[in-house]
């Protein structure tokens, strides 16, 4: 038997691909190395707390909304409470105090924001008149400092982007990591001018956008629903690829091994690889050593995740907010925290709040390793300083992700070019993963939709 498509990886990309292809009567097989589906998405309800070990929310963009409606799980969608609009940044004072300050949410609020000096605020008015760069790419720190000023970049931008990339923005590509901002400058000469023009030309975009969502039992609801809508025999867990062989122009031969069983040979018309870059590198190495090396070199931010239970009685005031973000520094470990039980119902047991803390990241890579007691203790100490807690919170669980989030370094567009060249040489092998263009759940679904339209349903 020859499959129409074999998909490597059972994360949100792989499962969405499998579901869509099987729904259109394609014979598919999804191969997953681990014992469960979902990839980085993993939600667990234990002792009255719902803990997320990957993303805990998602933007409700058009592609995700359409998939939710197609799967008929609208009743599983949860919208955040009104307090979600409250987001805080940590002001690290020279005397060692850390205080929460409400984050600016618009250009006007940024102008009125108390932590920015008059000079920094004045600089925002100059942005439309700053000359655009002629470079092919520029790191985010340099780009934002040039356009918005060093103070705004350090106090606002670095904190906000640490909540997305957990990276050192001095190493991130603006062209690849913030493509809209890059195009705003390139095409309009200004971020502000470009943003205004974009909003005028795309009013329909706001029709589908309802802010953040999650699901009743966490983001894993989406994964489980996709899995349940795919034939059981179409998903192979605990299975590794041992070899890829091109046997004909339109056919591939794969050797796989499931746990300790003997190696089995499969045939497929196409292979879609959705695995992380370092795994993909090993798979395609015999076909393209140069691309394999480039994929091995894709940087990832390390991240420590700490789930904490805090007694409401120990809080000086309610955690009525989405959470907070810290300006990343080498001497500090805490990047920020999400106030899960303030955002959504049924996240914590009675009389407790559930918090998810993010630790380490690209600026303090060693600090991400919360398996080391000193890092865990430092993270708790810093959290207590931010929230002014007198008692230690209850540590519910911890997880250290050595490679948590792929980063797009300067000239990342050259890797995309390499991948396109590989695909032109091997038209029935496709690389489709978050190390290329976008890391969010709706972005992965959008890329799958565009891929299927171009390759199968054009």
Look at residue 119 in the predicted model and tell me its pLDDT: 93
Instruction: Please report which residue ranges of 41-87 form alpha helices under DSSP H.
Output: 62-71
- What pLDDT digit, counting tens, does each position of 115-172 carry? 899 999 999 999 999 999 999 999 999 999 999 999 999 999 999 998 899 999 999 9
3-state secondary structure at position 7: strand
Q: What is the token pair recorded at 269?
A: 């018309």
- What pLDDT digit, counting tens, does each position of 326-349 carry? 999 999 999 999 999 999 999 999
Could you identify the residue written with the tokens 């390390």?
Answer: 302
Average pLDDT along the chain: 93
For the chain, domain boundaries: 2-40+220-298+409-455, 111-127+138-207
- Mean pLDDT calculated for residue range 300-310: 97
- What pLDDT digit, counting tens, does each position of 370-416 carry? 999 999 999 999 999 999 998 999 999 999 999 999 999 999 999 99
The Cβ-side half-sphere exposure at 109, using a 13 Å CA radius, reads 9
- What pLDDT digit, counting tens, does each position of 45-104 carry? 999 999 999 999 999 999 999 999 999 999 999 999 999 999 999 998 878 789 999 988
- Mean pLDDT calculated for residue range 272-283: 97
Look at residue 204 in the predicted model and tell me its pLDDT: 63
- Cα dist. 138→77, 155, 162, 181, 234 in Å? 38, 20, 18, 12, 44
Look at residue 202 in the predicted model and tell me its pLDDT: 80
Q: How far apart are CA 63 and CA 75, in angstroms?
A: 17
Asked if domains 2-40+220-298+409-455 and 111-127+138-207 share a fold, the reply is no
3-state secondary structure at position 310: strand
Closest CA relative to residue 38, chosen from 176, 222, 236 = 222
Look at residue 115 in the predicted model and tell me its pLDDT: 87
**CA angle 87–93–98, rounded 5-degree value:** 50
Which residues contact residue 73 at a Cβ distance below 8 angstroms, ignoring those fewer than 6 apart?
215, 221, 222, 225
Q: What is the token pair recorded at 41?
A: 């998405």
Of all residues in the chain, the percent with pLDDT exceeding 70 is: 98
Q: What is the CATH number of domain 2-40+220-298+409-455?
A: 3.50.50.60
Q: Of residues 9 and 211, which shows the higher confidence score?
A: 9
* 423 has a pLDDT exceeding 80: yes
CB 161 within 8 A of CB 169: yes
Ranges assigned E (strand) in 37-110: 43-46, 49-52, 58-59, 77-78, 87-92, 98-102
Determine the angle formed by the axes of helices 191-201 and 179-188, rounding to 10 degrees.
Answer: 100
Largest CA distance in the chain: 70
Determine the angle formed by the axes of helices 441-455 and 12-23, rounding to 10 degrees.
Answer: 40
Q: How far apart are CA 97 and CA 92, in angstroms?
A: 6
Q: Which residues of 119-149 are buried (b: 16+ CB within 10 A; e: fewer)?
A: ebbebbeebeebeebeeebbbbbbbbbbbbb
CB 66 within 8 A of CB 81: no
Look at residue 208 in the predicted model and tell me its pLDDT: 47
Q: How far apart are CA 195 and CA 188, in angstroms?
A: 9
**87-92 and 323-325 beta bridge pairing:** parallel
**429-431 and 271-273 beta bridge pairing:** parallel
Q: How far apart are CA 277 and CA 290, in angstroms?
A: 13
CB 432 within 8 A of CB 274: yes
Does the model's pTM come out above 0.75? yes
Torsion angles phi and psi, residue 10, rounded to 5? -115, 40
* 206 has a pLDDT exceeding 60: no
Look at residue 205 in the predicted model and tell me its pLDDT: 58
Instruction: Provide the CA 208 distance to its chain's centre, in angstroms.
Output: 20
- What pLDDT digit, counting tens, does each position of 92-120 carry? 887 878 999 998 877 777 788 888 999 99
Q: State the fold for domain 111-127+138-207.
A: protoporphyrinogen ix oxidase, domain 3 (1.10.3110)
Q: How far apart are CA 170 and CA 138, in angstroms?
A: 9
CB 181 within 8 A of CB 143: yes
CB 11 within 8 A of CB 274: yes
């Amino acid at each position: 038997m020859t499959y129409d498509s074999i998909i490597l990886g059972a994360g949100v990309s792989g499962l969405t691909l499998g579901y869509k292809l099987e729904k259109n009567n394609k014979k598919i097989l999804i191969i997953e190395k681990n014992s469960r589906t979902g990839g980085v998405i993993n939600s667990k309800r234990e002792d009255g707390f719902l803990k997320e070990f990957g993303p805990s929310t998602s933007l409700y963009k058009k592609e995700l909304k359409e998939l939710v409606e197609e799967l008929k799980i609208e009743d599983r969608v949860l919208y955040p409470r009104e307090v979600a609009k409250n987001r805080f940044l940590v002001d690290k004072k020279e005397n060692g105090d850390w205080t929460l300050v409400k984050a600016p949410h618009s250009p006007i609020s940024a102008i009125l924001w108390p932590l920015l000096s008059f000079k920094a605020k004045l600089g925002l008015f100059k942005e439309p008149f700053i000359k655009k760069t002629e470079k092919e790419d520029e790191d985010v720190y340099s780009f934002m400092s040039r356009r918005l000023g060093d103070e705004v970049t350090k106090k606002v931008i670095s904190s906000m982007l640490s909540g997305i990339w957990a990276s050192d923005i001095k190493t991130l590509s603006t062209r690849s990591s913030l493509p809209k901002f890059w195009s705003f400058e390139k095409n309009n000469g200004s971020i502000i001018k470009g943003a205004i023009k974009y909003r005028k030309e795309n009013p329909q975009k706001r029709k589908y956008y309802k802010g953040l969502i999650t699901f009743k039992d966490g983001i894993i609801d989406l994964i489980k629903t996709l899995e349940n809508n795919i034939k059981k025999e179409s998903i192979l867990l605990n299975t590794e690829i041992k070899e890829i062989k091109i046997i004909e122009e339109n056919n591939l031969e794969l050797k796989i091994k499931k746990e300790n069983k003997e190696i089995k040979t499969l045939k497929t018309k196409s292979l879609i690889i959705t695995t992380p870059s370092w795994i993909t590198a090993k798979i395609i190495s015999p076909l393209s050593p140069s691309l394999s090396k480039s994929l091995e070199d894709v940087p990832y931010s390390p991240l420590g995740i700490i789930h904490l239970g805090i007694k409401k009685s120990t809080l000086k005031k309610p955690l009525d907010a989405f959470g907070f973000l810290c300006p990343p520094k080498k001497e500090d470990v805490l990047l920020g925290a999400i106030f899960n039980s303030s955002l959504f119902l049924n996240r914590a047991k009675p009389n407790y709040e559930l918090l998810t803390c993010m630790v380490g990241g690209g600026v303090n890579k060693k600090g991400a390793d919360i398996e080391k007691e000193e890092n865990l203790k430092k993270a708790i100490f810093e959290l207590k300083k931010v929230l002014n807690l007198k008692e230690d919170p209850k540590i519910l669980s911890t997880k250290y992700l050595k490679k948590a989030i792929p980063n797009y370094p300067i000239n990342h567009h050259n890797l995309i070019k390499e991948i396109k060249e590989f695909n032109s040489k091997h038209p029935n092998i496709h690389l489709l993963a978050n190390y290329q263009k976008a890391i969010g759940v709706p972005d992965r679904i959008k890329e799958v939709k565009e891929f299927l339209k171009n390759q199968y349903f054009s």
